[in-house]
Structure 1
Amino acid sequence: MSFRAAVITFPGSNCDRDMAVALEMVTGHPALRVWHGDAQLPENLDFIALPGGFSYGDYLRSGAMAAKSPILRAVIAAAERGVPVLGVCNGFQVLIESGLLPGALMRNAGQTFVCRTVALEVVSTASPFTTGFDAGERIRIPVAHHDGNYFADAKVLDELAGEGRVAFRYLDNPNGSQRDIAGVLSANGRVLGMMPHPERAIAPAAHPSMGGTDGRKLFENLVGALVAA
């Protein structure tokens, strides 16, 4: 199967290459690189990724300026058609600022940049990203962020939980996120925003010391779900 994935690059992105390398490692196909100023996405995409970094230097609010980039109109339209979209770290911030996901990402509760591997619990398996996990499964994924404190009002938090849209929770909350939320899904389960970096934990099973393997499973889940569809 040919797998056409696009990785969006904004001024200040610094994990776009990591994401592209991860996708090629898992799918066997090079990812297409798309500049934020482009007005259109490549045709017939299977997947879109918004990577981590510090788009526009995190001025105003993290992700707020990137959410107004020309390419975001095309990303939103693709997401509305059902194309799976993953936003990691700064990409999660962009998804929220663009309205594709609810809530807000605030300054870490400890007011410091957090960079370490954290333990997560898989909460929802009802998405192409998580379908191959078991509910309650524990995985380890790196984080690296200063504004990862997930916030939403009680009504939204209850809706996310009740609709199975909390993808991951922290087991040792590094940033103060409400209800330990580490990743959330759109209503149709095809847009995932998460602060941890799965593209930094994609080592082959034969070499687990190379950053871990748990993130690789997320990408394998996605490919498997799309093949099966």
Structure 2
Amino acid sequence: MVKFGVIVFPGSNCDRDVAYVTQSLLQQPTRMVWHEESDLADLDVIIVPGGFSYGDYLRCGAIARFSPAMQATIKHAEQGKLVLGICNGFQVLTEAGLLPGALVRNRDLHFICDRVPLRVERTDLPWTQHYQSGAVITLPIAHGEGNYYADADTLTELEVNGQIVFRYATADGSNDPSSNPNGSLNNIAGICNRKGNVLGMMPHPERASDSLLGGTDGMRLFEGILAAMGDRVRA
């Protein structure tokens, strides 16, 4: 069994969606972690969900980074354990310094709610081992500040180190500018840290994990986590 922890901030609104996948669909123990908690030692995987943590005051994720739960999440990541940030969770991870770059206002300055194609760039990570390299999957997005930005040197490092995990793409997998919904540099939809144990992504895999919702492309990400944790236990 893999024990998941889902952090709950004031303003989180996707925490129960994630818990539905991990607890109800995958039948794994899942603990809802209130933002004031600081002891996360019992958890195998920490997920920072989407929503509007602390009302997005100052800027998205800027206040959440200082919460006791996020300070514990940083230690969790430093130990090589798995951390996933989705949408606002991705914003929080960049604010906390667990991932480089920042998420800024969408190119057209309005909120986007849609389903978009993504190309899977790596399949040697716990998160993506159940996908095929170069596969195009469809996941929902829902954000006003999902435009990934980083300076030129950081972008080069991300490319050279293979830290770009998902890119916005056309249905056939090409990088057409028209396939970029928010203006993210290099069509970036999700990145990982150098070790690969921390992943941040704007699209919502938890909203594409149940066939009742119209798609299950996101479920393979969660199944990959279970497989990776099983390999660690056997090792």
Question: If the TM-score is normalised by the length of the shorter chain, which range does it land in?
Answer: over 0.9
Which of these residues, 220, 223, 227, is aligned with residue 223 of structure 2?
220
Which segments of 5 or more consecutive residues in structure 1 lack a partner in the other structure? none
Q: Is the 8 A contact 1:118 1:140 kept in 2?
A: yes
Equivalenced residue count is 223
| Residue 118 (structure 2) pairs with residue 120 (structure 1) | yes
Which of these residues, 141, 144, 157, is aligned with residue 143 of structure 1?
141
Residue of structure 1 in register with 2:44 after alignment: 46
Amino acid at match of 2:207: R
Q: Is the 8 A contact 1:130 1:221 kept in 2?
A: yes
- 3-state SS, counterpart of residue 21 of structure 1: helix
Amino acid at match of 2:158: L
Q: Is the 8 A contact 2:207 2:213 kept in 1?
A: no
Residue of structure 2 in register with 1:14 after alignment: 13
State the 1:126 CA deviation.
Answer: 2.7
Which of these residues, 186, 189, 200, is aligned with residue 193 of structure 2?
186
- 3-state SS, counterpart of residue 135 of structure 1: coil
CA RMSD of aligned residues (A): 1.0
Q: Is the 8 A contact 1:89 1:145 kept in 2?
A: yes
Q: Is the 8 A contact 2:3 2:43 kept in 1?
A: yes
Residue of structure 1 in register with 2:176 after alignment: none
Q: Is the 8 A contact 2:192 2:200 kept in 1?
A: yes
Which aligned segments of 4 or more residues in structure 1 are displaced greater than 3 angstroms? none
Q: TM-score, normalised by structure 1?
A: 0.95
- 3-state SS, counterpart of residue 8 of structure 1: strand
| Residue 111 (structure 2) pairs with residue 108 (structure 1) | no
Alignment of 1:1-229 (within 5 A): 2-41=1-40, 43-171=41-169, 172-203=179-210, 208=211, 210-229=213-232
Q: Is the 8 A contact 1:126 1:189 kept in 2?
A: no
State the 1:135 CA deviation.
Answer: 1.5
Residue of structure 1 in register with 2:175 after alignment: none
- 3-state SS, counterpart of residue 40 of structure 1: coil
Amino acid at match of 2:208: A
Amino acid at match of 1:141: L
- 3-state SS, counterpart of residue 176 of structure 1: coil
Q: Distance in 2 between matches of 1:22 and 1:115?
A: 21
Q: TM-score, normalised by structure 2?
A: 0.92
- 3-state SS, counterpart of residue 69 of structure 2: helix
Higher mean Cα deviation, 81-90 or 22-31? 22-31
Q: Say if 1:34 and 1:209 are closer, same or farther in 2 by CA, change over 3 A.
A: closer
Q: Percent identity?
A: 52
- 3-state SS, counterpart of residue 218 of structure 2: helix
Higher mean Cα deviation, 18-27 or 83-92? 18-27
Q: Distance in 1 between matches of 2:84 and 2:38?
A: 19
State the 1:176 CA deviation.
Answer: 0.3
Higher mean Cα deviation, 92-101 or 30-39? 30-39
Q: Is the 8 A contact 1:26 1:220 kept in 2?
A: no
Amino acid at match of 1:4: K
Amino acid at match of 1:119: P
State the 1:29 CA deviation.
Answer: 2.0
